[in-house]
Structure 1
């Protein structure tokens, strides 16, 4: 196997493993490393479907790939003036009169660098007039591919958790995220990225007019409640949420993110008690 083919196979393996944001041969093709390798080759190379390969020299092949990953990670952090992007998002959010219009504004917004590397804008899923609103962190690989929030493994667990207390996204719930585009390699969104998307999230909540907000995970909790305590502490209490678009505070609570529960299954028992508290709260709210 020649050196070029080995590099291509290594890249395709990374792509199949979730590091596809810099390997695309379609989106941003001028910046695609695969396209660059092909154009610099004098031999025609056939690209097959992604498959794991074992490198004959892991040290030599890993170093340049790590360098590429680090560069891409830096590039996806917001490089424009953060304040100008936040102001642009706020101006669009102010204009949105309904969910369809807000979705259109988000899909056409170019102020968040994450969009450059995302396959889809992941806006929301569920019943638009639902009184239960769930807000998570950001799309993962499956969500980015399908354009639907919480549709991967963590989403399947979330659906089971909600079903245990009578909540279902196809009947009485609506789900969105604090970030609309997948961060590369599923890294945690930066503060700038969260702040840029926040005006859209705030208007999203106002247009939904839910009776209960369930914040899923620490990122959503920190972003919308503005509290420094971790999710382990915040999930124990209920809160009142408001923003500049809302006149009446909305009851708000929090849950561990299902991705965390998949890594720490011992916390599922704790989450079950949290779900029971949410069930009681819904009864009190008449939902």
Structure 2
């Protein structure tokens, strides 16, 4: 690019030159070069380093006017002061977990377990979760997604985590997967008045990503206490994360589904937990609905008192 020259007597040409320099500054140019090489390191070492004199700012003094520049434009001599700072941004303070600042996920999980053990009703548990700050998902989600349905029902469904629709409404299984779950329950004579529905993690992960093991570990004491307080006859684990979290199995969901697992409550009582496919998975793999139908027929038989896993 050819350099521009300006006649000092021509204001328009000088304004063009200022605009030309501004363009290079905005493009990232921070040094001017000429046709002859310079050893900048040697110049820096040879230059004397005099201590900078401290000058107290005069509050009543007006700032000096810019040199011979059109109104609203910066002088080319001032462009270095307008460059962005290269200093690293300040570090954000550590996230606090519960009442312990900077606690590790394991400490947050212990704090969650201690708090969950103190509540005696589902209402108290929901209020506890609304004020709990030990899980970072709380700060990115719009709403707490605690539960829906009838807490006195004989069957309780537990999924993985809320999605965008659930986060917006504040209830689990409100989107397309929730509509499919409603149809699956209706096929065996259930609805939301005869079932209780919740998730392992009560806050939506950003971007609908899967919850991390640390997030599941922190939220697990709450869903376990929720199951104890609801006290269902049968627990239905929807999908691999819920099945692995609540039953302890390491099997994938296609191997674990269709089986009853023993689930031990905190007071020593034992109920049955049925593993099945998550409705969101069935929306992606409609051919697997036949397997889910077999599982729901097992659930229907268990509720009627004639299931093989009774």
Q: TM-score, normalised by structure 2?
A: 0.65
Is 2:120 the counterpart of 1:97? yes
Structure 2 partner of 1:203:
225
Within the candidate set 132, 156, 160, 2:179 is matched to 156
Structure 2 partner of 1:227:
249
- What is the SS of the residue equivalent to 2:162? coil
Within the candidate set 176, 186, 193, 2:198 is matched to 176
Using the alignment, how far apart are the partners of 2:156 and 2:306 within structure 1?
A: 14
Equivalent pairs counted in the alignment come to: 208
Q: Which has the higher contact order (CA 8 A, sep 6+)?
A: 1
C-alpha contact (below 8 Å) 1:122/1:148 kept by paired residues? yes
Using the alignment, how far apart are the partners of 2:231 and 2:200 within structure 1?
A: 17
Deviation of 1:91 after TM superposition, in Å, equals 1.4
* Bigger-Rg structure (1/2): 2
C-alpha contact (below 8 Å) 1:211/1:285 kept by paired residues? no
Deviation of 1:246 after TM superposition, in Å, equals 3.2
Structure 1 partner of 2:234:
212
Gaps of 5+ in 2: 1-94, 96-101
Is 2:154 the counterpart of 1:135? no
Q: Identify if the C-alpha distance between structure 1 residues 81 and 183 changes in structure 2 by more than 3 Å, giving closer, same or farther.
A: same
C-alpha contact (below 8 Å) 2:258/2:276 kept by paired residues? no
- What is the SS of the residue equivalent to 1:118? coil
Structure 2 partner of 1:266:
287
Using the alignment, how far apart are the partners of 1:111 and 1:204 within structure 2?
A: 18
RMSD: 1.7
Structure 2 partner of 1:241:
263
**1:116-163 deviations in Å (ceiling 9; x for gaps):** 100000000011211111100000000000000000010000010011
Q: TM-score, normalised by structure 1?
A: 0.70
Using the alignment, how far apart are the partners of 1:246 and 1:178 within structure 2?
A: 20
Which one has the bigger helix percentage?
Answer: 1
Runs of 4+ in 1 over 4 A off after TM superposition: none
Using the alignment, how far apart are the partners of 2:196 and 2:149 within structure 1?
A: 4
C-alpha contact (below 8 Å) 2:143/2:167 kept by paired residues? yes
Structure 2 partner of 1:88:
111
Structure 2 partner of 1:29:
none
Deviation of 1:285 after TM superposition, in Å, equals 7.1
C-alpha contact (below 8 Å) 1:119/1:144 kept by paired residues? yes
C-alpha contact (below 8 Å) 1:178/1:198 kept by paired residues? yes
